[in-house]
């Protein structure tokens, strides 16, 4: 009797066809309801038989969609779809259509948040630990809680130090979307004829400058970073004249020199001052009114901004929504994902103020270590959690599992703010879990 065997690739194709023939199903939406007037926000669609090419639709409008797990899709709902009360029919499309679920848009506030425990915890910090503080939390495109104690109000503006880094890098990355910047091209390509690039700096790229791997010292800042009377051009030249601490791309060394030089490259490519460039790319599109690098020709790109909680929350909301604010895309989906991809890549560490709790880094974002999050008091998040903490304690963060943003604005120090952050996190997560 003759025996026949199907080639392995035919078996694989048949199996793939069988899987693809399975109907696409969606089982749940998060959120299931939002309030009118929400800015752009992510909706999480849970179901089965999704693929990387699956797209979420809302009332027939195809949304920017990312597959985050085998059974989850994350899509951005723009503000125009939540302008009026009504219903959004959500479905998933990938050659075929799924069933539909309804996302309700209502005029009344959504959720039954109880911030009593959070406010009591905040009050306990003032004035025994800090003289004042402000906290703002946003979710699903709306601010859901704002509270200030002590010598601060909801409109208090403070220096945010290194919390400047993420917004600054966000602005620079818009140049990638515009086709003006290649992250892996030598900076000498962009700076030729502008400043002198020594031969030992010729292989430095913008990716390196924006992620502290350029070889420029992170522990010894150039003196010009604190000189508001010079120009960014002259400061860039001073930084380029510094000796390399190690070969470019071989170490992670957190500091301000690299990002300051990256800011100058942005000035050159944009043909305008840093302040005007940042205004055009971030401040004006997001409607920021208090966020400022101050009136100087040499802004400290990686640490010199001032902000209140409201303006910074808009920046956080834009990022959580996949790079969209209101109905306008600020950064592409590709850049949004790039900013979540760890750029340390296992490199040896020279200077890492995040320690063992913040182990990944990408374009101003620190990535909370999974074991650190799991060591926190319950209820806890499994992440991802991104943050951009500053020297004076300003602590902005995003929790992707629970889809909220928060910023704690204080004028203190990192260790003090970190203690406060750790004590607030479970109280906030509890409210998120009770209001899914």
- Return per-residue pLDDT of the chain as tens, 436 residues: 444 444 555 554 454 444 456 899 999 999 999 999 999 999 999 999 999 999 999 999 999 999 999 999 999 999 999 999 999 999 999 989 999 999 999 999 999 999 999 999 999 999 999 999 999 999 999 999 999 999 999 999 999 999 999 999 999 999 999 999 999 999 999 999 999 999 999 999 999 999 999 999 998 899 999 999 999 999 999 999 999 999 999 999 999 999 999 999 999 999 999 999 999 999 999 999 999 999 999 999 999 999 999 999 999 999 999 999 999 999 999 999 999 999 998 899 999 999 889 999 999 999 999 999 999 999 999 999 999 999 999 999 999 999 999 999 999 999 999 999 999 999 999 999 999 8
Residue 341 inside a domain? The answer is yes
Per-residue pLDDT at 379: 97
Per-residue pLDDT at 425: 98
What are the φ and ψ backbone dihedral angles of 70, each rounded to 5 degrees?
-60, -25
Residue 128 inside a domain? The answer is yes
Residues 316 and 338 in one domain: yes
Closest by CA position to 254, among listed 414, 58, 30, 49: 414
Residues 43 and 175 in one domain: no
| Cα 122 from Cα 423, distance rounded (Å) | 9
Last residue of a domain, one of 73, 106, 139: 106
Residues 302 and 155 in one domain: yes
Residues 44 and 118 in one domain: no
The number of beta carbons lying within 10 Å of the beta carbon of residue 390 is 24
Closest by CA position to 26, among listed 72, 70, 58, 87: 72
Last residue of a domain, one of 63, 89, 106: 106
Residues 416 and 377 in one domain: yes
| Cα 224 from Cα 232, distance rounded (Å) | 9
Residue 228 inside a domain? The answer is no
Residues 91 and 118 in one domain: no
Last residue of a domain, one of 106, 126, 148: 106
Residue 222 inside a domain? The answer is no
Per-residue pLDDT at 13: 46
Q: Is 12 exposed, middle or buried (0-12, 13-18, 19+ CB in 10 A)?
A: exposed
Per-residue pLDDT at 245: 96
Residues 305 and 354 in one domain: yes
Residues 51 and 180 in one domain: no
Per the structure, the count of domains in the chain is 2
Residues 361 and 432 in one domain: yes
Structure tokens at 198: 């020594």
Residues across the chain: 436
Angle at the Cα of 53 from the Cα atoms of 30 and 43, rounded to 5 degrees = 15
Instruction: Let me know: does 111 contact 144? Beta carbons within 8 Å.
Output: yes
Residue 204 inside a domain? The answer is no
Give the 3-state secondary structure percentages of the chain, helix then strand then coil, rounded to 5: 30, 25, 45
Instruction: Let me know: does 351 contact 253? Beta carbons within 8 Å.
Output: yes
Residue whose entry in the numeric block shows the structure tokens 């020279």? 350
Residues 288 and 383 in one domain: yes
Residue 220 inside a domain? The answer is no
Per-residue pLDDT at 436: 81
Residues 386 and 332 in one domain: yes
Residues 152 and 283 in one domain: yes
| Cα 176 from Cα 370, distance rounded (Å) | 30
Q: How far is CA 126 from CA 155, 157, 196, 285, in A?
A: 18, 18, 51, 35
Closest by CA position to 347, among listed 156, 207, 181: 207
Residue 12 inside a domain? The answer is no
| Cα 394 from Cα 388, distance rounded (Å) | 8
Domain span including residue 54: 27-106
């Amino acid at each position: 009797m003759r025996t026949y065997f199907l080639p392995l690739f035919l078996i694989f194709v048949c199996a793939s066809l069988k899987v693809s023939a399975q109907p696409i199903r969606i089982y749940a939406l998060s959120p299931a309801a939002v309030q009118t007037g929400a800015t752009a926000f992510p909706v999480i669609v849970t179901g089965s038989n999704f693929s990387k090419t699956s797209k979420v639709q809302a009332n027939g409008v195809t949304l920017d969609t990312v597959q985050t797990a085998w059974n989850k899709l994350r899509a951005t709902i723009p503000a125009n779809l939540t302008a009026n009360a009504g219903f959004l029919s959500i479905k998933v499309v990938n050659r075929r259509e799924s069933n539909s679920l309804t996302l309700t848009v209502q005029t009344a506030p959504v959720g039954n948040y109880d911030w009593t425990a959070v406010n009591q915890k905040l009050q306990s910090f003032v004035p025994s630990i800090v003289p004042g503080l402000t906290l703002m939390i946003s979710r699903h495109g709306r601010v859901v809680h704002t509270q200030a104690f002590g010598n601060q109000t909801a409109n208090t503006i403070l220096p945010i130090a290194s919390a400047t880094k993420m917004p600054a890098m966000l602005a620079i990355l818009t140049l990638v979307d515009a086709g003006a910047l290649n992250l892996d091209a030598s900076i000498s390509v962009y700076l030729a004829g502008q400043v002198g690039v020594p031969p030992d700096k010729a292989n430095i790229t913008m990716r390196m400058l924006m992620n502290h791997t350029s070889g420029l010292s992170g522990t010894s800042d150039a003196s010009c970073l604190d000189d508001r009377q010079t120009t960014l051009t002259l400061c860039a030249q001073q930084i380029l004249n510094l000796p390399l601490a190690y070969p470019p791309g071989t170490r992670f060394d957190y500091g301000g020199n690299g990002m300051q030089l990256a800011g100058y490259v942005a000035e050159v490519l944009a043909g305008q001052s840093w302040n005007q460039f940042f205004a055009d790319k971030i401040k004006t599109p997001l409607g920021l009114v208090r966020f400022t690098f101050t009136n100087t020709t040499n802004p400290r790109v990686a640490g010199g901004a001032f902000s209140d909680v409201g303006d910074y929350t808009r920046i956080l909301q834009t990022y959580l929504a996949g790079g969209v604010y209101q109905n306008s895309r600020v950064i592409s989906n590709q850049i949004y994902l790039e900013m979540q991809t760890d750029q340390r890549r296992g490199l040896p560490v020279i200077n890492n103020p995040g320690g063992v709790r913040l182990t990944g880094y990408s374009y101003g974002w620190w990535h909370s270590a999974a074991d650190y999050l799991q060591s926190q008091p319950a209820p806890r998040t499994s992440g991802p959690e991104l943050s951009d903490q500053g020297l004076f304690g300003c602590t902005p963060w995003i929790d992707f599992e629970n889809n909220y943003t928060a910023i704690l604005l204080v004028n203190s120090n990192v260790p003090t703010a970190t203690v406060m952050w750790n004590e607030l996190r479970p109280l906030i997560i509890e409210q998120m879990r009770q209001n899914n």
